[in-house]
Amino acid sequence: MYSLSMKPKFARQQFLWEFMCQLNEEISLTNIQKLVFLNMQKAESPFYEFIPYMYGCYSFQLKEDLETLVREGFLSEFNSRYKSVHPCSKKTSFDIASERGNALICKVYKANPYYVINSEIAEEHLSQNELDDIQKLNQSFIKQDKVLFTIGYEGKSVEKFVNMLIVHGIQVLCDVRKNAFSYKFGFSKSKLCHIVESIGIQYLHIPELGIESDKRKSLNTLSDYQELFKNYSNTLSMKTYQVEQLYSLLCSKNRIALMCFELESKMCHRHVIRDYLQEKFETTCVDL
């Protein structure tokens, strides 16, 4: 039986439920994404981040939380339209835009051109001059110089992670984890592949360049890490196919990124791959 004391587990899900309670209407996913986006722009510590997607600003975490709230009985869903099922015990007042549908899309698009660069419906909502500006912005993210990037997803939402790939013009995301699984939303292989390829970035998992998890179990000191990376470095000469695969991708795509978990590349084996490629092929390298 429902109780007014019941609430979602996470703060961001509680925010979303309260937001939906204030809306108190059956509303489409596209409208929810736009309304929460506008609200997050005003927040000092936003719960959700967004990427430029096929209909503009989009948060995969927001969509996941909506589905969680439906499963847990806080929201109902039919044909991708959502509505609060029960009233909230906490009466939070949100500044929610009054527009819906095309008017809301147009409002968001005109004020936030970055989030329009991958839109499939921009021509329906923007003038030719505005579309030209979007095209110029999109072109600014296409880089011709060859750079090997490294990036870790520790402490990042998948949306922040993807935005970093976009603004640096990365064409291929090379996952060098042995096992491409994560408890952090968006970073397991199938989900991450879907997200990055949906915005035109190629995803490639190269497990042969990963480190077995059991070799990381006893890492307590800096010297432990240094010993691990030294031993790993000695194996790269035997991984000719994978190393040349990376260099071939760099030559054909100009900008690729080696990804793993750790925030600091020096604490991750990806820096060993980076250094090996830099020495062997004189590549330009940048850690994000």
CATH code assigned at 173: 3.40.1010.10
Share of the chain above pLDDT 90, in %: 86
Examine residue 100 and state whether it is found in any structural domain, yes or no.
yes
Q: How far apart are CA 78 and CA 27, in angstroms?
A: 10
Range of the domain at 240: 143-287
| Confidence (pLDDT) at 210 | 95
Predicted confidence (pLDDT) at residue 170 exceeds the cutoff of 90:
yes
pTM listed for this prediction: 0.93
Residue of 180 and 9 predicted with greater confidence: 180
Is 122 found in the same domain as 163?
Answer: no
116 burial via Cβ count (<10 Å: 0-12, 13-18, 19+):
buried
Examine residue 21 and state whether it is found in any structural domain, yes or no.
yes
Share of the chain above pLDDT 70, in %: 96
In the listed set 139, 170, 185, which residue is the last one of a domain according to the structure? 139
- Local confidence band at 3 (pLDDT 50, 70, 90 cut-offs): low
Backbone angles phi, psi at 106, to 5 degrees: -60, -45
Examine residue 4 and state whether it is found in any structural domain, yes or no.
no
| Confidence (pLDDT) at 1 | 42
Q: Judge contact between 267 and 274, C-beta under 8 A.
A: no
| Confidence (pLDDT) at 26 | 96
Provide the CA 166 distance to its chain's centre, in angstroms: 10
Is 127 found in the same domain as 49?
Answer: yes
Which amino acid makes up residue 189?
K
In the listed set 88, 123, 139, which residue is the last one of a domain according to the structure? 139
Examine residue 234 and state whether it is found in any structural domain, yes or no.
yes
- Read off the pLDDT of each residue in 165-186 and give the average, rounded to a whole number: 97
Q: How far apart are CA 91 and CA 95, in angstroms?
A: 13
Overall size of the chain counted in residues: 288
49 burial via Cβ count (<10 Å: 0-12, 13-18, 19+):
buried
Q: Give residue-wise pLDDT tens across range 68-104.
A: 999 999 999 999 999 999 877 666 789 999 999 999 9
Is 256 found in the same domain as 228?
Answer: yes
Q: Tell me how crowded residue 131 is: count the other CB atoms within 10 A of its CB.
A: 15
- Local confidence band at 220 (pLDDT 50, 70, 90 cut-offs): low
Is 122 found in the same domain as 182?
Answer: no
Number of folded domains that form the chain: 2
Examine residue 82 and state whether it is found in any structural domain, yes or no.
yes
* C-alpha torsion sign, points 116, 60, 40, 79: positive
- Read off the pLDDT of each residue in 247-257 and give the average, rounded to a whole number: 97
Is 149 found in the same domain as 131?
Answer: no
Task: Show the 3-state SS of the chain.
Answer: CCCCCCCCCCHHHHHHHHHHHHHCCCEEHHHHHHHHHHHHHHCCCCCCCCEEECCEEECHHHHHHHHHHHHCCCEEEECCEEEECCCCCCCCCCCCCCCCHHHHHHHHHHHCHHHHCCCCCHHHCCCHHHHHHHHHHHHHCCCCCCEEEEEECCCCCHHHHHHHHHHCCCCEEEECCCCCCCCCCCCCHHHHHHHHHCCCCEEEECHHHCCCHHHHCCCCCHHHHHHHHHHHHCCHHHCHHHHHHHHHHHHHHCEEEEEECCCCHHHCCHHHHHHHHHHHHCCCEEEC
Q: Give residue-wise pLDDT tens across range 30-70.
A: 999 999 999 999 998 899 999 999 999 999 999 999 999 99
Q: How far apart are CA 11 and CA 216, in angstroms?
A: 32
